[in-house]
Amino acid sequence: MTTEPLLQPTLWRTCRVLANRTRLRIFGLLVQHSPQTVSALAGRLQLSVPVACQSLRALEARGLLTARRTGRLVHYRLSTTTAGTVHELVAPLRAAFQRGPSSVNTLFRLATAFTHPRRIDIFRTLQTGAGTLRQIQAATRIPNPSLSRHLGKLEVRGFVACRGRIYSATTPPEAFGRALARVAAQGDHTLQSVE
């Protein structure tokens, strides 16, 4: 029995799921050793079974994993039937973990850039051209205190640069960062997934 994603995968919701070091470690383990049962995965990562189960369900709900029940056991593996922009994120995630587990902190930092839909709107606005804080506020209608906070988060994560009070969109050098920037720039917050 294969389960279907529970939620419509959107970029910001997917990033919220990925902005968790435990979930990233689980994803990384499944890149190296797939499929895994919940208890085997929990044992390998020294997690409680409930924590592993909850993390696996969150990754599955975003279309990143698939589950297959065999008797009392549930086996999780990386989703192989993703299409569209979900695939755009899975491929660089997989490649990062094939290089080694040290990627968790970098992937975490990049994923946290787009954990809020307003940051996607800001990034999209800046894709059309650089602007001042006032211009960005006029285009996005985000209140200035929130806008400043979101711009700061995007800047720290390498998706926005500020020179002389002029903000512009940038792209991080990492493959996963480039994939996030492409998906965010598309403007459709819905990630297409076929299970």
Residue 106 lies in a domain: no
- Check whether residue 91 and residue 164 sit in a common domain: no
Segment 19-23 long-range contacts (CB within 8 Å, at least 24 positions apart): 19/108, 19/111, 19/112, 19/115, 20/55, 20/58, 20/108, 21/104, 21/105, 21/108, 22/47, 22/51, 22/55, 23/55, 23/58, 23/59
**Is 64 within a domain?**
yes
- Whether 4 maps to a domain, the answer reads no
CATH code of the domain containing 142: 1.10.10.10
The yes-or-no verdict on residue 6 having pLDDT over 50 is: no
Do the domain assignments include residue 50?
Answer: yes
Domain stop point among 48, 66, 99: 99
Instruction: Give the confidence band of 21 by pLDDT, cuts at 50, 70, 90.
Output: very high
**pLDDT tens digit sequence for 130-172:** 899 999 999 999 999 999 999 999 999 999 999 999 999 999 9
Residue-level pLDDT at 190: 47
Are the beta carbons of 45 and 154 closer than 8 angstroms? no
Question: What are the pLDDT digits (tens) for 22-68?
Answer: 999 999 999 988 899 999 999 999 999 999 999 999 999 888 898 99
CB 190 within 8 A of CB 8: yes
Prior bond of 5 cis (ω within 30°): no
**pLDDT tier, 192 (very low <50, low <70, confident <90, very high otherwise):** very low
- Between 187 and 17, name the one with better pLDDT: 17
> What's the pLDDT score for residue 172?
93
The pTM assigned to this predicted structure is: 0.85
Mean of the pLDDT values across residues 125-133? 93
Candidates 51, 64, 65; CA nearest to 11 is 64
pLDDT at residue 102, rounded to an integer = 67
Which pLDDT does position 9 carry in this prediction?
55
Q: Taking a C-beta distance cutoff of 8 angstroms, is the pair 29, 22 a contact?
A: no
Q: Are 11 and 114 in contact (CB under 8 A)?
A: yes
Whether residues 17 and 75 fall in one domain: yes
Distances 144 to 78, 87, 122, 132, 159 between C-alpha atoms, Å: 40, 35, 12, 12, 19
83 and 192 Cβ atoms separated by less than 8 Å: yes
User: Does residue 89 share a domain with residue 120?
Assistant: no
- pLDDT tens-digit profile of 91-116? 899 889 888 766 899 999 999 999 99
Give residue 4's pLDDT band: very low, low, confident or very high (50, 70, 90). Answer: very low
Task: Supply the range of the domain harboring residue 90.
Answer: 11-99
Q: What per-residue confidence (pLDDT) applies to 8?
A: 46
Which residues contact residue 163 at a Cβ distance below 8 angstroms, ignoring those fewer than 6 apart?
Answer: none
88 shares a domain with 135: no
- Split at pLDDT 50, 70, 90, the class of 82 is low
Q: Is residue 18 over pLDDT 70?
A: yes
Q: Looking at the 3D structure of the chain, how many domains does it have?
A: 2
